[in-house]
A = this chain, B = another copy of it.
Amino acid sequence: MTKNSATQKNRAALLCRLLRRFYDKDWVSGTGGGICAATGPKTVLMAPTGVHKEEVRPSDLFVVDRMTGGVIRPPRNRSLAVSECNPIFCLIMTQRKVGSVMHSHALSAVLAADLSEDRDHFIIEGLEMLKGVRGVSNQAKHAVPVIRNTPRERELVDQIRRALEAPVFSESFCILVRNHGAYIWGEDLWEAKRHAEIYHFLFEAVVARSRRGRNGWGQI
């Protein structure tokens, strides 16, 4: 086994392990959500669409071209199709130069996006856990973009590109999709996992505080 294939094998096992953990947290239930992981500058592992995420095995994963989203190696089971998130995952990895993106269908993400009402973002502040986002201090007013949902996942691409390009959101490793969930990323699987835990904590915190009429979110 070459070093590359060993790395790819380990990464595939870790990706599946994180999917099971995300399932246990109710972030990827009902076959929703997912995660991808780069295995080199040009290749990325991606789960199939429409499968129970906690049941995904390494042999179910696709190897996808990180630039084009084209399938380089499908899994043995030819009835599987690659994740609907494919173009979004590739866009975020390219634009933000990161190696892993997760997609959450958590209720806390939906309820946090609800708090933004008709604005294109919301601000998180006054929480130590902000320090868990790379480069962010606990004194920050952290702006997270919120975009509208669309009938098909791939139709989110234009709004996501604009959010990624907006200087005001340059510190965010997360995009909230109204009525839907969130995309959260990091340099590798472990940072994406840490950011996922941090942002979901922040969502739950702002939702809980808003119930008490406390200002933990707002406008830029």
A-side binding surface: helix, strand, loop or mixed? helix
Q: Name the one of B29, B149, B179 contacting A197, with C-beta atoms under 8 angstroms.
A: B29
Q: Which residue of B lies closest to A214 (CB)?
A: B114
Q: Contact flags (1/0) for A30-50 with B, using CB distance below 8 Å?
A: 111000000000000000000
Tell me if A151 is interfacial: C-beta within 8 Å of chain B: yes
With A and B bound together, what is the CA distance between A32 and B107 in angstroms? Answer: 23
Query: Could you say which of B111, B138, B139, B194 contacts A31, with CB atoms under 8 Å apart?
Result: B194
A137 touches B151 (CB 8 A): yes
A74-82, A125-133, A161-169: which lies at the B interface? A125-133
Question: Judging by beta carbons under 8 Å apart, are A139 and B151 in contact?
Answer: yes
Interface residues on A, range: 35 or more
Contacting pair A29 B201 (CB below 8 A):
yes
Q: A88 to nearest B CB, angstroms? A: 13
Binds B, one of A1-9, A61-69, A92-100, A203-211: A203-211
Closest to A199 in B: B30
Which of B127, B138, B179, B201 interacts with A127 by CB under 8 Å?
A: B179
